[in-house]
Amino acid sequence: IFFFQMSVGICFKSIEKILHPKDNKIWFTISLTTHYLREGYDSFEWETDEDSFSEKMHSAIMNEIKTYAYPFFEKYPSIDSLKLALEKKADEWAYKNILFIELLSAIEKVKGNDENINKIIDDAIARLRGDDWIVKRDRRNLEKVRQKILGV
């Protein structure tokens, strides 16, 4: 039995210049391993013999790309489609996720909406409850996001 797993990702260079300004590597703005795109988050597996391994593997991988990668790429053809998807999925958990806030803020920066960045970060800080070390750390990290994105 063979298992296959791959990641699909999209790089929006204008966002990545904000998130990774000094890095020349290609970063994915959004990426997932294909098992997250499957119902039940199952890994792909298949059985084959040595004689037909290469042919069956190629066919299986191409099917994975057609079934999961292409639709993923089609779902996020633009920064606007990514922003819409993020806003649609935003819930209480998302606003506690620093990477979510950072990405949404970078999108607003690309769009020239600096005033929205402060609102996004202020809202995320306001959602943090309590005064334990985790909340304090998250507040500091959100302020670092503000500084990184806005340069203030």
Q: How confident is the model at residue 47, as a pLDDT?
A: 67
> Could you report the average pLDDT of every consecutive run of 10 residues in the chain (152 residues)?
79 93 86 83 69 77 90 94 86 73 95 94 89 91 95 78
Q: How confident is the model at residue 109, as a pLDDT?
A: 97
Separation of alpha carbons 148 and 152, rounded Å = 8
Q: How confident is the model at residue 110, as a pLDDT?
A: 96
